[in-house]
Every structure is written in C-alpha cells, then in structure tokens.
C-alpha cells in the first residue's frame, strides 16, 4: 500500500475514532450497536484495514454522521 493510501486510511480512522468517542462509546459499544467485530473497528481506527463503502456507510449512520462528513477535505 502506498504512503498516500495509508495516510488516507489513518485519517479516516482518526475521524471515526473521534466521532465514536464524542458519542461516549467504547469500541465494544460500537461493535455491539453496529453488529461489527471489535477487532475490525480497531483496525479501521488505526488505519490498518481498508473500509468498503457499505461498511463506511454503516459506521457513519451509526455514529450520527454522513459519509460526506467523514470524507470531507481528505
């Protein structure tokens, strides 16, 4: 993976983590609410895993955000 792609994944992960924390959720809370694996969420937040568009939509909706908000100015 190129450094540009990696930087993009890290930034998306940071945004997801920030929104999750603002909601007062732990990764476990988020995993339960969104029916996802906690390890998957951790990998996404750390920029270690690419996020598919459907997964990104599920995360955005679950966190009360839009995909546009997650991806703005990347």
What does the pLDDT look like over 9-65, one tens digit per residue? 999 999 999 999 999 999 999 999 999 999 999 999 999 999 999 999 999 999 999
**pTM for this entry:** 0.92
Per-residue pLDDT band at 3 (split at 50, 70, 90)? confident
Identify whether the C-beta of residue 12 lies closer than 8 Å to the C-beta of residue 74. yes
Query: Cα–Cα distances in Å, from 36 out to 50, 61, 62?
Result: 15, 14, 11
Residue-number span of the structural domain to which 52 is assigned: 3-71
Domains contained in the chain, number:
1
Write down the pLDDT at residue 30: 98
């Amino acid at each position: 993976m190129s450094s540009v792609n990696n930087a993009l994944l890290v930034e998306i992960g940071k945004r997801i983590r920030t929104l999750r924390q603002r909601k007062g959720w732990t990764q476990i809370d988020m995993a339960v609410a969104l029916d996802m694996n906690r390890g998957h969420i951790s990998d996404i937040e750390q920029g270690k895993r690419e996020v598919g568009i459907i997964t990104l939509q599920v995360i955005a909706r679950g966190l009360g955000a839009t995909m546009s908000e997650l991806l703005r100015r990347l």
